[in-house]
């Protein structure tokens, strides 16, 4: 057996994250993202039967900037990915990295068993923080 420490997603994730309502305009979302130095937004559930959404900076570039839409006239719900694939906080980082690879993810919310968002994890976290902890 190996003496390696088991590194979990909770060990490397960022607990700071931004949650906004789906009706937020892209212009307002960009202001908030700049303020908080964020590269992603979690779109809140409308009710208990809904799912979280996700907007990345790349979504804004592809779905607003590249097609010449006015950011103040587009709501984030129009460009979000939903439902979002999430990871559990107790998942091993190697399985999280495999999941990212299999599904083409670059970032995922970390959601606990109660359905609450604890933070975000991305490839940088998995590699730079995860491997550094071993």
Question: Residue 131's pLDDT band (boundaries 50, 70, 90)?
Answer: confident
Q: Burial code of 57-68, b = ≥16 C-beta within 10 A, e = fewer?
A: eebbeebbeeee
- In this predicted structure, the answer to whether residue 54 has a pLDDT above a threshold of 50 is yes
The residue ranges of every structural domain in the chain are 9-133
- The CATH number of 9-133 is 3.10.580.10
Instruction: Name the one residue in this structure whose structure tokens are 């590194």.
Output: 7
Q: How far apart are the first and last CA of the chain?
A: 15
Give the three-state DSSP class for 33: helix
Average pLDDT over residues 26-44: 96
> Which range (2-6, 13-17, 25-29) has the least confidence?
2-6
Average pLDDT over residues 116-126: 94
- In this predicted structure, the answer to whether residue 116 has a pLDDT above a threshold of 90 is yes
Element (H, E) at 131: helix 131-133
- In this predicted structure, the answer to whether residue 130 has a pLDDT above a threshold of 80 is no
Question: Residue 129's pLDDT band (boundaries 50, 70, 90)?
Answer: confident
Dmax (CA) for the chain in angstroms is 58
Which residue, among 116, 123, 101, has the nearest Cα to 40 in the 3D structure? 123
């Amino acid at each position: 057996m190996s003496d390696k420490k088991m590194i979990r997603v909770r060990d490397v994730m960022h607990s700071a994250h931004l949650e906004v309502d789906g009706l937020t305009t892209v212009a307002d979302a960009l202001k908030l993202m700049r303020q908080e130095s964020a590269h992603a937004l979690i779109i809140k559930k409308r009710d208990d039967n809904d799912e979280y959404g996700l907007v990345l900076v790349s979504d804004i570039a592809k779905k607003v900037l590249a097609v010449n839409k006015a950011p103040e006239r587009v709501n984030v719900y129009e460009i979000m990915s939903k439902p979002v694939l999430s990871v559990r906080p107790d998942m091993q980082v190697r399985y999280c990295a495999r999941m990212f690879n299999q599904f083409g993810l670059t970032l995922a919310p970390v959601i606990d068993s109660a359905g609450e968002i604890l933070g975000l994890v991305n490839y940088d976290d998995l590699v730079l923080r995860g491997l550094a902890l071993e």
